[in-house]
Structure 1
Amino acid sequence: MFFRNVWCAAEMTNSCRQLLLQPGRGYPNVRVVFRNSIHNSRRGGRRTVLEPDPLSQIQIESGPLHARTLWKPLFFTIGVTTLSLTGCVIWEYENLRAHASSFLKKPGTWLSAQQRKFKTHLQKAEPGPVTKWWRSLRDSEKVFYPILAANVLVFGAWRVRSLQPYMIKYFCSNPSGSSRCLPMLLSTFSHYSAMHLAANMYVLYSFMPAAVASLGKEQFVAMYLSAGVISSFASFVYKVLLNQPGLSLGASGAIMSVLSYVCVQYPDTRLSIIFLPMYTFAAGTAIKVIMSVDLAGVVFGWKFFDHAAHLGGALFGMAWCHWGTTSIWGNRDKFLQYYHTLRKNDTGR
């Protein structure tokens, strides 16, 4: 299995924007400073006029970074992970049940059931173009496009000035803000920069086919959502330990889990950089280099990217490859028996 033209560089990152720390009452007041180049515009074709950055005027909520503030994020991480796994197990069960029911409602009359289904299909109107397109997609694409749509929708919301205070509060992971838990999940679907969004979605699209083929779409979604909050929590822990407040956003923590899972599951797969396709390298080597860079960023305190979130996501992906598929997802039979009994009692069949 080969993955060609995969961009294995800085796109697997959370946009951790530069922060301007101002003295406050016992702890710093944090204000986001975005690059002016994002907001440059050329008027009259003669000169560049710098427009005032609307985000630079928004004061970011801040508070003291104490270890006790990690309890709620920890419980939220455990809760989201549990709900993701439970929901996706039920999703898989319902998909299998719906698929099996079309063949096993009456085992002795399978052929006649198929004939009736074929006649009914002929009588129905021709499906629309959207339905045809959706049916033509692979399982990995049916998972990717909803994720892409959610990210694009949030990206569009960032462009609405009246929504920006709410975007910063709820779609940026901030351990010193008044709202800590919900942004841990929502920030994984949040991108302010178009380049950041495009790079992350490109990497996700490149590695999803292998991950979904190995895990199945239900288990993949469970791993992806869990990795998002776990990488956010890893960032929280790092910032609290070093007492460095800051905002993080982006899907790269979750994407790092997908990347590390594929690289560990298929270590001999050959990867290449998009601009240098003539140079290839093994996936097992690539993940070691990427994690080494993130580890160095954590140790030396590099602040351009959220290296702690990347490292947390990558470690979770590796752990899921070794233990998650067998020890967690593989032991879902007892829950499925309970859910099957509960569903049978509720529906009577």
Structure 2
Amino acid sequence: MALSRMLKLNEICCSRYPVFPQYNSCIPKFSNNVRTFRRVSHEAKSKKPVFESLASPFQNITVNANNIRAQNLWKPLGFTVAFSSVCFGGAAIWQYESMRSHAISMLKQPMGFVHKKTHEAHLKAGSWRRQVNNWWNSLTPGERVFVPICAINVLVFAAWRIPRLQPYMLKYFCSNPGSSNICWPMLLSTFSHYSAFHLFANMYVLHSFSSGAVASLGKEQFLGLYLSAGVISSFTSYLYKTIARQPGLSLGASGAIMAILGYVCTQYPDTKLGIIFLPFLTFSAGAAIKVIVSLDLAGVVLGWKVFDHAAHLGGAACGIAWSYWGNELLWHNREPILQYWHELRGAIK
């Protein structure tokens, strides 16, 4: 009963689900399709030493610790570097295409003709479509980036509620350094939430900071930072779990959100922040990020199991580093990529 209560508390409170202290209890196997989880009840009955396992956020899952080895980190490290490079390269190309499309539309079409065609398109569309268009046009650039991210998270949350999909969700939407599927879950787990409160809390924080971040970075650079930070935070969690020999599932967007939080708080340290339930309490963004990072660092050093503190630190470090060096060292030096894409695009025509 005590274990059940602790697991329920973890489901409600964790931002990225960590693992609990070790339990060698009889936990039935959830699915034959998930290689990293195994039935241990027969081993307990025979009094043979079972694999050292840690309880996951799901009450009937145990995670095998024997598959966690340092040599297995090379593959996720390569995936992290490659995916992050693709993210920022794709963001640069996306920005190029957006600017090119806008320039062509302004040069080739008179403004009166554009307005006329836009008005005709609205008339042809149904009422529901006009309402959706009006709603979408009323959003800020930050909200236009937030809405698709939130929608994906809600869809994945709904998928967790379907019993037949849960083996696949465990396999692909939970990051685990001991799993045979070790790379793509690093990304997919950042869109995965098992608890409704977990989903609400992460999306609320993302919505609060997305407008400011998009205004500073632009939608292309924002999305590149968000996606790459999600994978980097997952790799940081892998690294910590491997060093500490603490297997377990992790899921949630907090690693990527911590990167956005770290960037905004570092870029605008004098911005006043507050807590939704304590509106009278305000503090500076610079102080907030220092406190958050300090708590996560203490969690890593002291081995706290409340959050996936290593993933939080990886995401925050990514956002803070981008604030100091990202624009100058990487984004402002993207001309070679744009030049190559411009020549390639011309060659394709």
Tell me the TM-score normalised to structure 2 length.
0.84
Which residue is equivalent to 2:157? 155
1:98 equivalent in alignment to 2:110: no
Which residue is equivalent to 2:167? 165
Contact 1:19/1:33 (CA < 8 Å) preserved in 2?
no
Which residue is equivalent to 1:121? 118
Q: Counterparts in 2 of 1:246-325, with a 5 A limit? A: 246-325=248-327
Q: Assess, with a 3 A threshold, how the Cα gap between structure 1 residues 13 and 122 changes in structure 2: closer, same or farther.
A: closer
2:207 alignment partner, one of 181, 197, 205: 205
Give deviations 1:35-69, integer Å, cap 9, x for gaps: xxxxxxxxxxxxxxxxxxxx534555654321101
CA distance in 2, matches of 1:281, 1:262: 14
Alpha-carbon distance, 1:305 to partner: 0.7
Which residue is equivalent to 2:194? 192
Q: Which residue type is aligned with residue 193 of structure 1?
A: S
Alpha-carbon distance, 1:140 to partner: 0.6
Q: Which residue type is aligned with residue 185 of structure 1?
A: L
Q: Secondary structure at the match of 1:56?
A: coil
Q: Assess, with a 3 A threshold, how the Cα gap between structure 1 residues 274 and 120 changes in structure 2: closer, same or farther.
A: closer
Higher RCO (CA < 8 A, seq sep 6+):
1
Alpha-carbon distance, 1:323 to partner: 0.8
Q: Assess, with a 3 A threshold, how the Cα gap between structure 1 residues 240 and 133 changes in structure 2: closer, same or farther.
A: same
Which is further off, 116-125 or 270-279? 116-125
Q: Assess, with a 3 A threshold, how the Cα gap between structure 1 residues 76 and 189 changes in structure 2: closer, same or farther.
A: same
CA distance in 2, matches of 1:173, 1:219: 25
Q: Secondary structure at the match of 1:179?
A: coil
Contact 1:91/1:218 (CA < 8 Å) preserved in 2?
yes
Q: Secondary structure at the match of 1:315?
A: helix
Alpha-carbon distance, 1:273 to partner: 1.3
Which residue is equivalent to 1:336? 338
Q: How many positions carry a matched residue from both structures?
A: 312
CA distance in 2, matches of 1:279, 1:269: 14
Which residue is equivalent to 2:185? 183
CA distance in 1, matches of 2:122, 2:111: 19
Contact 1:255/1:313 (CA < 8 Å) preserved in 2?
yes
- RMSD of aligned alpha carbons: 2.2
CA distance in 2, matches of 1:237, 1:59: 20
Q: Assess, with a 3 A threshold, how the Cα gap between structure 1 residues 11 and 340 changes in structure 2: closer, same or farther.
A: farther
Q: Secondary structure at the match of 2:59?
A: helix
Q: Secondary structure at the match of 2:273?
A: strand
1:88 equivalent in alignment to 2:91: yes
Alpha-carbon distance, 1:11 to partner: 7.4
Give deviations 1:11-46, integer Å, cap 9, x for gaps: 783122547644789983647454xxxxxxxxxxxx
Which is further off, 250-259 or 95-104? 95-104
Contact 2:94/2:220 (CA < 8 Å) preserved in 1?
yes
CA distance in 2, matches of 1:59, 1:165: 14
Which residue is equivalent to 2:33? none
Contact 1:17/1:32 (CA < 8 Å) preserved in 2?
yes
Which residue is equivalent to 2:51? 28
Give deviations 1:131-183, integer Å, cap 9, x for gaps: 22112211111110110011001101111111111111111110011111110
Give deviations 1:220-269, integer Å, cap 9, x for gaps: 00000000000000000001011111111100001001101000000001
Contact 1:256/1:314 (CA < 8 Å) preserved in 2?
yes
Which residue is equivalent to 1:65? 68
CA distance in 2, matches of 1:170, 1:21: 24
Contact 1:89/1:219 (CA < 8 Å) preserved in 2?
yes
Alpha-carbon distance, 1:122 to partner: 3.8
Which residue is equivalent to 2:328? 326
Contact 1:31/1:58 (CA < 8 Å) preserved in 2?
no
CA distance in 2, matches of 1:311, 1:58: 26
Q: Assess, with a 3 A threshold, how the Cα gap between structure 1 residues 154 and 20 changes in structure 2: closer, same or farther.
A: farther
CA distance in 2, matches of 1:121, 1:248: 46
Identity within the alignment, %: 54
Q: Assess, with a 3 A threshold, how the Cα gap between structure 1 residues 166 and 102 changes in structure 2: closer, same or farther.
A: same
Contact 2:19/2:246 (CA < 8 Å) preserved in 1?
no
Which residue is equivalent to 1:56? 59
Contact 1:257/1:317 (CA < 8 Å) preserved in 2?
yes
Alpha-carbon distance, 1:205 to partner: 0.3
Q: Which residue type is aligned with residue 28 of structure 1?
A: F
CA distance in 2, matches of 1:308, 1:197: 19
